[in-house]
Structure 1
Amino acid sequence: HKIATSSIEDYDRYLVNFSPKVITKYDQSMSFLLNCFTNPKPSRRHKLSLSDTEAQNFLSIVNKMIDLNNKDTPHKNIKMELFLLQLLLFINDSIDNKQYYNTETDEDPRLNEIMKFIQENYSNPISLDMLSSNFSYNKYYLCRLFKEKMGFGISDYIKSCRLSKAILLLQEGMSVSDVALKTGFGSDTYFISTFKKNFGTSPKQYLKKM
């Protein structure tokens, strides 16, 4: 994912990566905890603004997960999964309480269609020329509009969709070569270099840390 922020701002970034199977393996009814990721329309940005108190509560859970990850303790995996459930409950409750997602957005409807197209076709080659032709845009205008409305570039969004799926496939035991082909990267070299650039480690090293 791409972060857009002022160069003078300091921020901490926390990445919590997990497989959806972790949520549903005990009880399928718990799949509602994934609603914060699966229900929003493409035009609704996955960004939740928290009050100071809410941010403290959020960080309290995340810091417990970080502390646990650095310890060798009995039933570590189960404890981590419980913290994850707690974190997802917090996120979903925060969204519900704020009625965070509006029913109307000011984005061009075609942007929604473009994002949906990318989500459904990330495994195939996708170019700016293809998108501008398919959705009747001038490609330079499309680049500016997408970045202005969504806060990140088209290529960043394509890359994000591919990397998100790649992580799930790696967790399922698929080889790096197969993942590269299945997610549209085309070659092991490009997939690995992109993965390292975004996560700071290779796919195999990343899995060892999970």
Structure 2
Amino acid sequence: MNPDRFYYEINRLFSFYHSVTANPIGWDIHMHSSYEMLYFVSGDATYHVEGQSYQMEPGDLIFTNTRELHKIIFHSEIPYERKFIQFKPDFILGLQVDGFNPLTVFENRKPGHHNQIKAEDVQAYGIDQYIESMHNFSKAATPMANAMIKTTLIQMLVAINRIFSDKNLEENYSPPNSKVNSVLDYINNNLDQKITLDQLENEFYLNKFHLCHIFKQSTGFSILEYITHKRIMKAKELLASEKPASEVAAQVGYSDYSTFYRAFKNIVGLSPSRYKRRTRERNQKS
């Protein structure tokens, strides 16, 4: 076993991961099919989520939902240590209470808003202790420990919701770059249409080269890679229905199916038809 890496999984619904990377390099833009919480132990990095940039400090927590594109950029070779939790909503099914949804902080936020909880709040609300407990239970790897992981995760989600409630975070939000946020909104509202740099230039009265520069600077993504990944994200949702792949391609802005096919396979690693078939098989088993 690699002493710098630990991984534990429960029924493909929950996973706990602890790793140390000695000489970190940046990860490509990506997203997950699960909710994710990343506890930053050490390193020198900026986390980019949907147009927002978060400078990371030891003890900070970053969380993302299944619709938020994100990537991490490292600024030096300081070892990158992290613990992260990924889970699907079904993992805590049956543990929820009427009138309170512990997933509110994942589901009721505008993408890219309030993804970071600073170290002082992580400690003040005991979130670091919940993470440590889940790490220890994961090492035990027993049915009883798995039950404790579930109940500890619920407590952690309640604590995060308390932070949002106590600090009125949504009410106090101020976008870091209103122009870039407007472009993000435009892209997300027009994924079924052709979107070009010339169109964006005309729409926002901003030189397209300057727009590309400030978009990359603010989000960590190029405009093209952001549009492509958001189109494919939407395509994955549509392919889970009975829509044929050719129809899905048109609904996410591709007039040429071969272009859609290449983009989808490059990002997902599967052809659209194979992804659709695999999704159907998984749904039939669940």
Are 2:72 and 1:4 equivalent residues in the alignment?
Answer: yes
Question: In the alignment, does 2:225 pair up with 1:156?
Answer: yes
AA at the equivalent of 2:191: Y
How far the C-alpha of 1:92 sits from its partner, in A, is 4.9
Counterpart residue number, 1:110: 179
1:201 aligns with 2:281: no
Asked if structure 2 preserves the Cα contact closer than 8 Å seen for 1:143 and 1:153, the reply is yes
Q: Does 1:176 align with 2:253?
A: no
Of 106, 109, 129, the match for 1:36: 106
CA contact (8 A) 2:254 2:260 kept: yes
Q: Per-residue deviation at 1:137?
A: 0.7
Residue 3 of structure 1 aligns to a residue in which SS?
A: strand
In structure 2, C-alpha distance between the alignment counterparts of 1:17 and 1:145, rounded to whole Å? 34
Counterpart-to-counterpart distance in 1, 2:192 and 2:87: 21
- Determine if the alignment matches structure 1 residue 167 to structure 2 residue 236: yes
- TM-score, normalised to structure 2, is 0.49
Query: Is the strand fraction higher in 1 or 2?
Result: 2
**For 1:60 and 1:172, how far apart are their aligned partners in 2?**
39
Label 1:197 to 1:120 Cα distance change in 2 as closer, same or farther (>3 A): same
Aligned twin of 1:135: 204
TM-superposed CA distance for 1:198, in Å, is: 2.0
Deviates more, 1:161-170 or 1:140-149: 161-170
Cα gap change, 1:161 to 1:95, in 2 (>3 Å): farther
Deviation at 1:133, TM superposition (A): 1.6
Residue pairs, 1:182-193, within 5 angstroms = 182-193=251-262
Report the equivalent of 1:47: 115
The amino acid of 2:205's aligned partner reads: S
Deviations 1:64-120 (A, max 9, x none): 9xxxxxxxxxxxxxxxxx99x95977765564466555422331x222222221111
Offset of residue 141 of structure 1: 0.8
Structure having the higher Rg: 2
Gaps spanning 5+ residues in structure 1: where? 24-28, 65-81
Structure 1 residue 189: Cα displacement: 2.3
Equivalent residue of 2:176, what SS? coil
Q: 1:38/1:6 Cα in 2 relative to 1: closer, same or farther (>3 Å)? A: same
Taking the aligned partners of 1:189 and 1:88, their CA distance within structure 2 comes to 43
Higher helix proportion, which one? 1
Secondary structure of the residue aligned to 1:173 is coil
The percent identity for this pair of structures is: 25
Using structure 1 for the length normalisation, give the TM-score: 0.63
How far 1:48 moved relative to its partner?
Answer: 3.1
Name the SS of the counterpart of 1:104 in structure 2. Answer: coil
Give CA deviations for 1:149-178 in whole Å, capped at 9, x if unaligned.
Answer: 122222222223212221221112211111
Count of paired positions? 189
RCO higher in structure (CA 8 A, sep ≥6): 1
1:128 CA drift (Å): 1.0
Does the 8 A contact of 1:45 with 1:150 survive in 2? Answer: no
Tell me, what secondary structure is at the counterpart of 1:4?
Answer: strand
Runs of 5+ unmatched residues, structure 2: 1-68, 94-98, 138-149
> What code does the residue aligned with 1:106 have?
P
| AA matched with 1:192 | Y
